[in-house]
């Protein structure tokens, strides 16, 4: 099996590449531009593997994508490359439009050109998996769940760009017949997570005895999915999922943000005790603009159709995650030279006019 993974130096992408190369023994070409969140050290375990290749390139580069696809001749393309941080999209939306929308279009066209040139089993078995997010659905009330049929209602430039790319992907199936499948996942967490996101930011800020910022009152709810569970789901979806369909991937682990931070603090109290309790570092800050109240995934379709189940509870997964950050300073310490944990996503105030 030959698979192209885009964005394979990122958080979810690197977990997927490690799984495909080490566990499934597939031949993998990882395409990543290595922007700020791309980190090849996340793939150190693959340095001597003959079934792994890396290409530094932009998915917006049509010639590079066509060349890579036509030369590698993949059986599957798993498309994860994206700008993904909501806060950064608020102050720098242009990169999200370019990468998430134009890049997806470019990759779809490269895949279509390659697929249309195939015959027999190679054409019949080819799959293009577009990996997306539950944020395309917008904000939930207290009792609802996101289903694959939930109407899109994105709130941020990030989620709007991902919604756009989802629509492009499914239209390439309906118009051209390209065998596209879409997955929409809930919030991922686990090892090798860039420290701007809530869980790794909380862990590292706590270790340095910095404040632990919580947006608003901390009552925004997310469904948390351990990254290795997500990777397992993606492998199932691209192998057995039906072209033209979408599959929601969720951990059934809803937590309010304040409860997530408190649980991390409690784990650190046990694993790295100090003279103070880590919860005393919590600081409530001005909420993010357009902050969705609640996300929660109904993964019934994935569970019943393909037999997938999340293996980690939030309790087991967060313990593994905290312990990993304590044990792997070598990985995250260099990143703090680029990102020190400062607040992102604040809309600059307009200058006063005379």
Strands 221-226 and 254-256: antiparallel
Q: Is 134 a catalytic residue?
A: yes
Q: Which residues contact 107 (CB under 8 A, 6 or more apart)?
A: 6, 59, 65, 77, 79, 81
How many whole angstroms separate alpha carbon 66 and alpha carbon 174?
Answer: 22
Q: Are 1 and 23 in contact (CB under 8 A)?
A: no
Selecting among 83, 135, 254, 298, the annotated active-site residue is 135
Q: Which residues contact 347 (CB under 8 A, 6 or more apart)?
A: 90, 91, 289
CA dihedral 175, 179, 182, 188 (to 10 degrees): -150
How many whole angstroms separate alpha carbon 149 and alpha carbon 333?
Answer: 42
Q: Is 158 a catalytic residue?
A: yes
How many whole angstroms separate alpha carbon 87 and alpha carbon 259?
Answer: 21
From residue 87, alpha-carbon distances to 14, 17, 112, 305, 344 in Å are: 22, 26, 33, 35, 5
Q: Is 223 a catalytic residue?
A: no
Q: Are 5 and 28 in contact (CB under 8 A)?
A: yes
How many whole angstroms separate alpha carbon 334 and alpha carbon 195?
Answer: 11
Selecting among 114, 158, 192, 247, the annotated active-site residue is 158
Selecting among 27, 32, 83, 134, the annotated active-site residue is 134
Annotated active-site positions, please?
Answer: 134-135, 158
């Amino acid at each position: 099996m030959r698979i192209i993974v885009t964005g394979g130096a990122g958080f979810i992408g690197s977990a997927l590449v490690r799984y495909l190369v080490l566990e499934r023994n597939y031949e993998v070409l990882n395409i990543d531009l290595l922007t700020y969140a791309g980190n090849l050290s996340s793939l150190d375990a693959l340095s001597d593997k003959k079934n792994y290749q890396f290409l530094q390139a932009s998915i917006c580069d049509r010639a590079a994508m066509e060349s890579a696809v036509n030369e590698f001749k993949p059986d599957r393309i798993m498309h994860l490359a994206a700008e993904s941080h909501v806060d950064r999209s608020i102050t720098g939306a242009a990169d999200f439009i370019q990468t998430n929308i134009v890049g997806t279009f470019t990759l779809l066209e490269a895949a279509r050109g390659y697929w249309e040139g195939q015959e027999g089993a190679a054409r019949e078995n080819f799959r293009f998996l577009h990996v997306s997010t539950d944020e395309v659905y917008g904000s939930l009330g207290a009792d609802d769940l996101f289903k694959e049929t939930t109407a899109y209602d994105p709130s941020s430039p990030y989620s709007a760009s991902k919604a756009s790319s989802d629509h492009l992907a499914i239209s390439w199936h309906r118009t051209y017949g390209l065998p596209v499948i879409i997955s929409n996942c809930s919030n991922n967490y686990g090892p090798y997570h860039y420290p701007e996101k809530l869980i790794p930011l909380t862990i590292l800020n706590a270790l340095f005895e910095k404040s632990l910022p919580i947006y608003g009152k901390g009552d925004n709810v997310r469904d948390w999915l351990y990254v290795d569970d997500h990777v397992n789901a993606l492998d199932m979806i691209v192998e057995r999922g039906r072209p033209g369909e979408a599959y929601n991937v969720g951990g059934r682990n809803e937590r309010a943000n304040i409860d997530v931070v408190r649980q991390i603090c409690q784990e650190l109290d046990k694993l790295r005790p100090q003279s103070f309790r880590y919860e005393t570092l919590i600081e409530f800050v001005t909420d993010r603009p357009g902050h969705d109240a609640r996300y929660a995934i109904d993964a019934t379709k994935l569970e019943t159709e393909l037999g997938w189940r999340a293996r980690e509870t939030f309790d087991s997964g967060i313990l593994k995650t905290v312990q990993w950050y304590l044990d792997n300073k070598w990985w995250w310490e260099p990143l703090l030279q680029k990102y020190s944990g400062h607040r992102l996503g604040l809309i600059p105030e307009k200058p006063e006019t005379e």
